[in-house]
Structure 1
Amino acid sequence: MSVSERYRQAWESYWRETSDVPGDAIWDVDPSLGAAPHLDLLAPHADTSLPIVDLGCGNGTQTRYLAARFGRTLGVDLSQAAVEHARRADPAGAAEYRRLSLTDTAAVADLARRLDDANVYMRAVIHQSDAADRRPVAEAVATLLGRRGRGFVAELTEESKAVLAKLAGSPGGPPPKLRRVLDHGLRPADAADKEVPEVLAEAGLEILADGPTALAQTEQWPDGSRVELPARWFVVSRA
C-alpha cells in the first residue's frame, strides 16, 4: 500500500515553497513549546538509550532537540523537500534524515530491522493523513517500537477545526501561514476524536498514558496572542 500521489505531491509542493526561516511553517514552533514538554510525558515510560525516530519530521526543528537527549536520532518525512530542509538546518549532523512513506510497510519493516527496538515521536500526523492511511501510519509506529520502544503521539482534536475556522475567518481572511496550508490542499484536524485511539488499538498498540493538550502554532490571533490548537497526547507501547 502506498500513500496517495495527491497527498504526497501536496506535501512536496508545500515544503518546496517553505523557506528555511524558522517558524515559516505554521507548526514550526521552538522545541520549548513542542518536543520538550512532550518528552517530559514520554520519559517516565521510555528507555532513552534506545534510538528515537521522529515520524513526519518536517524541517527537523523537533528532531534536533530529540537528538540532544537520545543516542541515535532519525527524522523521516514523506516529503523529500522537507528532508532537505532538515539536513540544511543541521549542518553538524546531530540527527539523520531520510524520506519514508509510513504506509510503505516493506520500507518501515526494513528500517525497524536496522534500528532494532526504537522510541517514536509523532506530532500531528494521523489527523491529516488520508482516511485509508491512518491505520497503516499507526501500524508503522507499532513496527518501529518493537518490544522495548515507547511512542509519543499527539493529534489534533475535532475542537481544533473550530479554532482553525475562526482563524480562517479573521478580518482579511486566513493569515498567511494558514492560507498556505489550505492552498496546498492539506487538511488539518480531519480525524474524529474517537478514531485516533481506535486506530492505535487496531494497530496493536496499548495506551499507557494520555491526556488533553494544545499544540502551539507560529501564527497569531489579531490581538497578538499565540494560536494553540486543542489536541490529545498518547504514550504507547506494543500491546
Structure 2
Amino acid sequence: MDVSLRYREAWEGFWRETSGTPGEAIWDCDPSLASIPHSELLLPHADASLPVVDLGCGNGTQTRYLATRFARAIGVDLSDAAIALARRADTAGTAEFEQLNLVDRDAVRALRDRTGDTNVYMRAVIHQSEPQDRTAVAEAVAELLGVRGRAFVAELTSASRAVLQQASAGPDGPPEKLRRVFDHGLKPAGAEDEEVPGLLRAAGLTILASGDTVLAQTEQLPDGTRIDLPARWFVLARA
C-alpha cells in the first residue's frame, strides 16, 4: 500500500518550504507543551529501556526530547524533506531519523524487525491522514509495539474545527502559519471523535488510559491568545 501522490507531495512541499526555525511550523511547539507532559502520561506504563519511535516526527523537536527519556529514540516521517530538517537540527546526535511511510506495512515490519518491541509516540497523525490510510496508521502502531511496547497517541477532536474557524475569522483570514497548512492542501481535524478509538481497537490495541487535552500551536487567535486545539490522548498496549 502507499499514500496518494497528492498527499505525499503536499507534505514534501510543506517541509521543503520550511527553514527549520523552531516554531515555524504551526505544530512545532516547545517540548514543555507536548512530549514532556506526554512522557509523564506514558512512562508509568512503559519500559524506558526499550526504544521509542516518534511517528510523524516532522523536524524532530519532540524526538530529541524523547531521546532523553528512553534508551533510544527514532523519528520517522513520510517526508524526506522533514527528515533532512530533523537531522540538521539534531546537532548533538541525540536521536535517529529515517523516512517511513506508515501505510507501507512491509516497511513498518522491517523497522520493527530492526528495533524489536518499541514504545511509540504519535501526535496528531491519524486526524490529518487520508481516510483510506487511517486503518494502516493504527495498525503500524500495533506492529511496532510488539508484546512489551506501549504507545502514547494524541489526536485532534471535532471541537478543534471550531477553533480553526475562529483562527481564520480575522479580517486578513487565517494567520500565516495556519495559511501555510491550508495552502499546501493539508486538512487538519479530518477524523471523527469515535473514529480514532475505534481504529485503535480494531488494530488490536487496548486502551490503558485516556483523557482530554489540547495540542498547543505556535500561532495565535485574532485576540492574541495561543491556538490550543482540543484533543484526546490514549496510552495503548497490544491486546
* Structure 1 and Structure 2 fold alike (TM over 0.5): yes
Query: Which residue of 2 is the match for residue 129 of structure 1?
Result: 129
Match of 2:201 in 1: 201
Per the alignment, in what secondary structure is the counterpart of residue 200 of structure 1?
Answer: helix
How many residues are aligned here? 239
CA contact (8 A) 2:167 2:222 kept: no
1:29 aligns with 2:24: no
Q: Which residue of 2 aligns with 1:20?
A: 20
Structure 1 residues not aligned, in runs of 5+: none
Q: Distance in 2 between matches of 1:224 and 1:22?
A: 20
Written as runs of structure 1 = structure 2, the 5 A alignment for 1:1-239 is 1-239=1-239
Deviation at 1:224, TM superposition (A): 2.2
Deviation at 1:222, TM superposition (A): 2.6
TM-score (norm 2): 0.99
Secondary structure class of the residue paired with 2:167: helix
Alignment-mate amino acid for residue 230 of structure 1: P
Deviation at 1:73, TM superposition (A): 0.6
Give % identity.
67
Q: SS at the partner of 1:127?
A: helix
1:8 positional shift: 0.5
CA distance in structure 1 between the partners assigned to 2:22 and 2:170 by the alignment: 24
State the one-letter code of the partner of 2:15.
W
How far off is 1:223 after superposition? Answer: 2.7
Unaligned runs of 5+ in 2: none
Q: Secondary structure at the match of 2:230?
A: strand
Give me the TM-score of the superposition, normalised by structure 1. 0.99
